[in-house]
Structure 1
Amino acid sequence: MKFTELPLSEQVLKGIEAAGFTDCTEVQEKVLPVSLSHRDVMAQSKTGSGKTAVYVLTILQSFVEAQQKGKSKPKALIVAPTRELAVQIEEDTLKLASAMDDVTVGCFFGGVGYGKQDEILEKGCDIFVCTPGRILDYQKMHKIDFRQFDIFVVDEADRLFDMGFYPDIQKMFSLLRGCTERQTMLFSATLGTKVRNLAWSFMNEPVELEVQPEEITVKAITQELFHVSKSEKFGLFLKLMKKEDPENCLIFTNTKARCIEVSKRLSLNGYPTKYLMGDMPQTKRLQTLDRMKEGKIKFLVATDVAARGLQIDDLQLVVNYDIPDDFESYVHRIGRTARAGKSGKSITLADEEYVFNLEPIENYIQMKIPVIWPEEGDLPQVEDASASYSFRDLVSNDEYASSPARSKGGLRPRGRKGPLPRAKREERPRMGRKTDESNETRNRRPRVEQARPAETRRRRPGSKSYAEIQNLSLEERLAYYKQQYQNEGGQVSPPQTSLVPRTPVKKAAAAPVAKEQDQAKKPEQKLGFFARLFRRKK
């Protein structure tokens, strides 16, 4: 189907032409006729199928129709799981709306300051592209009213729920107007229980469309699997890189520390490489992505933060340096190389640490990944220039180095703040101690000398040590405690069987009587406590 066959205005068609689109993809062909009729849609579609254009064109067409009818322009809210995907949606929206001068698009996400985003709100915005956290922050500050939105889009719903945003999406739905007063479009790679619950609870009889499930897309990608030990993993990776000689390559790792290590080792071996992970500032992440899209960065090592929403034209190779823990992440990772119907290749390295994640992946994609057993001579010989560097040497000196003292195995930027080096801590004088001895003498002095031996401590006359008391019988202990109590000035009296009747006497005369009664009760209470204690031990 051509875009010209759809009920789209000339302004929208000009934007489609400027973006370089002519034919509809399968998801666009099935969903656009429904969404353009202002009905709610719940669609399952694969990665890179062109679903972003579906809801953007629907929003732009609603703007044109409102203008033709003389009504105010509707407002749209698009929610994405990651900052990178939100920025990508904003760029695609600006391309498709290039022929419409009066359309403003704003992107709202965390990790950056509020200044520029506040300016966008003050000037006015028609299409809000956001991540859940930042848009809800603005709602709590009463800078955004969710009742103003006429179109609500949830993109990559399954990814949002995996990241723990299910309660946030529910809250957004509750803040919107009624389901009959707005249009809702929900897109997800899988239509699970949570997605359907949202549709049944907050959408107006949505049309459910399934367009080529996610697992089928991997069949168009050339996949290879290599079994290798962890110690020989990077050496095999270098040989494969020399054999494939890709123009650009995206390498995925499971951890941030491994991401830095692989990037540094590749750079030492002549592959200019950058890395991308969640702990990087948002501005630096966006700069890295832009340079990768422009072709200035050919090799990028990333965690799963780049598994979705990263659109790189003509990406030649994707390498799973680590097999992902989540089987769906495998599909999204290798899906970066086959965008918009193009072909690509993926290489997966299976070591003893992550090989157990292989079976769930193959069950999910409903196929066995072809295993390659290279024979001698099939791969070129490569000398690893980073072999002399340890993991600590490569990672600890990086800008985002591991610091167990500040976080549990996480990564943080290394700055001037923090604990002083050990040498400087020893040179710095201790505060609050007035003494002439040097730090060296004080540090060498054993602390045991400060403790006084037990035999030299002062002991009350007639008292026994703890070891001596343990060797006494119950009767001897009671007699010992009685003697100690009498030595303190106490008097032992027989137990009181009844209460002493109170007589109306003056306060001055009653005080000595009460004092004598209290002194008489004390021995009974103390002896009763120890008697009960020793009886329980027996």
Structure 2
Amino acid sequence: MSFDYLGLSDELLSAIKDAGYSEPTPIQKKAISGVLQGRDILGIAQTGTGKTAGFTLPMIDILAQGRARARMPRSLILEPTRELAAQVEESFIKYGKNSKLSCALLIGGTDFVGQVKKLDKGVDVLIATPGRLLDHMQRGNVMLSGVQILVVDEADRMLDMGFIPDIEKICKMLPKKIQSLFFSATMPSEVKKLTDSFLKDPREFEVSSPTQTAVTIEQHLVKFKGTDSIKRQVLRHLLKAENVTNAIIFCNRKKEVKIVNKSLQVHGFSASELHGDLHQSTRMEVLTAFKEGKTKILVASDVAARGLDIPDVGHVFNFDVPSNPEDYVHRIGRTGRAGKKGTSFTLSTQLDKKYLDGLLKFLAKEIPLYNVPNEALEDNKTQRQSSSEANNSASKHHQKTKNTSRHNSINKKPTKKQIHHDEKPIKKETSQDSNSLEKTLGMGGHMPDFLTR
């Protein structure tokens, strides 16, 4: 089934084709038709299923008729993070290029005055995080009385981040007659209570269970004993062995993100980091560089695990086993998207056992084991020691050979011809000369500690 049969306009179909898509995903088939019919939607779908286009596409056609008034947006999309909000804006720009819809993005870390100027002009689509929207509302910069369509995306993530009270405040400021679309990867009781309060006879559908991972992802579990230094060493081995063209590496803590990223850069990898401590403009620059292939490896915390709309990510590495099993699904969902093949590796040491046991119980299946060679598990200090011993052995052997050769040459009775042509006395070898090879090899075999971690 192609997009042609979903009732979308020719202008929108042209934009979809230009974006390189021909067939809708399962959630897009269900969501698009329901939204165009004016129904409320409750969609349970994990990330990577194409749900963003599931609501942006029909919204573009619905909002094509009409005009926005100053400070009164015609639609509102709530996202839990700045990254997700920015990516939804990108979706509207990409698919709405043949329309005259205007968008405004209200998120923290960006120009507040610039946001007010956009609101003053009137916007058809307002995309916001709850906190920044409430800030503008309290200052009188935006009124929600003209909103026709509400989208609450990643509702369970909103719950995790403590945004449910904010969403309730916002929803109470909306008109009574409104079309509401709620999407969530899971359905906790608090989210169910929220949807029961604000959705009217919704069309409900579930694309896949949150415990299911895409069949297009080849998963691997790498188990070994060792320190964090060895863990980083194993990671580097996998990046080289797999001929990785681009990858996202997830860590449980921001501190670890910074350490892993620095280690990769020191060892010559094209890497950058993404976490909550970065200023919004820096975060967007990092994402853009990764999307455009200027940076090959993105080391990220779970703030970036959901909703990263980056096509053709070849590999995902879990440097740590996620503490929340559901995050595993969201993390590896960055690869193997839209039917394409992807590969994931999860690194697990003795310190990850608790989280690994919980993950395997959650998935209700084993993750295939992947064995790395012993040299990838050797401590760098041990490797340097072995290298040094080998160099010393080579030096001693070389010196012994030289001494034997010189001894034979001295004891051998010279011929008259040799006496005639060999008038110069044999130069006595100094201790400095005898150690020159060892010193040279020693320099090559030694590397500062910070470069090997």
Q: TM-score, normalised by structure 2?
A: 0.80
Cα displacement (A) at 1:261:
0.9
Q: Report the more deviating stretch, 287-296 or 333-342.
A: 333-342
| Structure 2 Cα separation of the partners of residues 380 and 342 of structure 1 | 35
Corresponding residue for residue 180 of structure 2: 184
* 2:394 equivalent to 1:333: no
Give the alignment of 1:213-292 within 5 angstroms: 213-231=209-227, 232-292=230-290
How far apart in 1 are the matches of 2:12 and 2:270?
A: 41
Alignment match, 1:315:
313
2-structure distance, mates of 1:143, 1:378: 58
CA distance in structure 1 between the partners assigned to 2:83 and 2:35 by the alignment: 25
How many residue pairs match? The answer is 384
C-alpha spacing 1:352/1:247, structure 2 compared with 1 (3 Å): same
Structure 1, residues 413-435: CA drift from partner, whole Å, max 9, x if none?
xxxxxxxxxxxxxxxxxxxxxxx
Structure 2 unmatched runs, 5+: 385-445
Q: Which residue of 1 aligns with 2:406?
A: none
Distance, in Å, in 2 between the alignment partners of 1:37 and 1:105 is 23
SS of the residue aligned with 1:224?
strand
Which letter maps to 1:37?
A: Q
- Code of the aligned partner of 1:91: E
TM-superposed CA distance for 1:287, in Å, is 0.3
Query: Where do 1:114-513 residues align within 5 Å?
Result: 114-178=112-176, 181-231=177-227, 232-376=230-374, 388-389=449-450
Report what 1:25 is aligned to.
25
Aligned equivalents of 1:89 and 1:28: distance in 2? 15
Q: Displacement of 1:194 after TM fit?
A: 2.1
Structure with higher Rg: it is: 1
Matches of 2:373 and 2:258 in 1, distance apart? 31
Q: Which runs of 5+ in 1 are unaligned?
A: 68-72, 395-538
Aligned to 1:96: 95
Distance 1:196 1:387, change over 3 A: farther
1:433-471 per-position Cα deviation (integer Å, ceiling 9, x unaligned): xxxxxxxxxxxxxxxxxxxxxxxxxxxxxxxxxxxxxxx
Q: Which piece of structure 1 moves more, 126-135 or 53-62?
A: 53-62
Aligned-pair CA distance for 1:63: 2.0
Residues in 2 aligned to 1:260 and 1:91: alpha-carbon distance in whole angstroms: 28
**2:63 pairs with 1:2:** no
TM-score when normalising by structure 1: 0.68
Cα distance change, pair 61–234 in 1 and its aligned pair in 2 (3 A): same
Match of 1:112 among 110, 113, 129: 110
Deviation readout 1:189-211 (Å, 9 max, x if unpaired) = 11222222112111111111111
Moved more, 261-270 or 382-391: 382-391
Please say if residues 269 and 386 of structure 1, whose CA atoms lie closer than 8 Å, have aligned partners that are also in contact.
Answer: no
Q: Which residue of 2 aligns with 1:63?
A: 63
Quick one: structure 1 residues 236 and 201, their matched pair in 2 at CA, closer, same or farther if it must change by over 3 Å?
same
Q: Given residue 284 of structure 2, which amino acid in structure 1 is its aligned partner?
A: L
Preserved CA contact (<8 Å) 1:86 1:129 = yes
- Pairwise CA distance, 1:65: 5.2
* One-letter code aligned to 1:18: D
Point out the more displaced range, 134-143 or 354-363. 354-363
Q: State the one-letter code of the partner of 1:120.
A: K
Superposed CA RMSD:
2.4
| Higher mean C-alpha deviation, range 213-222 or range 162-171 | 213-222
* Percent identity of paired positions between Structure 1 and Structure 2: 37
The letter of the residue matching 1:242 is K
Counterparts in 2 of 1:136 and 1:74: CA distance versus 1, 3 Å: closer
Mapped partners of 2:205, 2:149: distance in 1: 19
What's the CA shift for 1:372? 2.5
SS of 1:345's partner is: strand
What SS does the corresponding residue of 1:216 show, helix, strand or coil? coil
Cα distance in structure 2, aligned partners of 1:234 and 1:212: 34
Deviation of 1:365 (Å): 2.4
The one-character-per-residue Cα deviations of 1:264-305 (angstroms, maximum 9, x if unpaired) are 111111112211110011000000000000000001111112
- What displacement does 1:381 show? 11
* TM-aligned CA deviation for residue 155 of structure 1: 0.9
1:380: Cα distance to partner? 11
Q: Once the two structures are superposed, what CA deviation does each residue of 1:399-419 show, in whole Å capped at 9, x if it has no partner?
A: xxxxxxxxxxxxxxxxxxxxx
Aligned position for 1:85 = 84
Cα distance in 2 for partners of 1:145, 1:314 equals: 39
Work out whether residues 73 and 143 of structure 2, in 8 Å CA contact, stay in contact via their aligned partners in 1: no
Give the CA deviation at 1:343: 1.6
Is 1:43 the counterpart of 2:43 in the alignment? Answer: yes
In 1, Cα distance between equivalents of 2:211 and 2:339? 15
1:146 partner SS: coil
Question: Is the Cα–Cα contact under 8 Å of residues 9 and 64 in structure 1 kept in the other structure?
Answer: no
Going from structure 1 to structure 2, the CA distance change for 1:258 and 1:226 (only over 3 Å counts) comes to same
8 A Cα contact 1:253 1:322, kept in partner: yes
Residue 6 of structure 1 and its aligned partner are, at CA, apart by 1.7
**Once superposed, which parts of structure 1, at least 4 consecutive aligned residues long, lie more than 6 Å away?**
377-387
Give the Å deviation of 1:235.
2.0
C-alpha contact (below 8 Å) 1:240/1:379 kept by paired residues: no
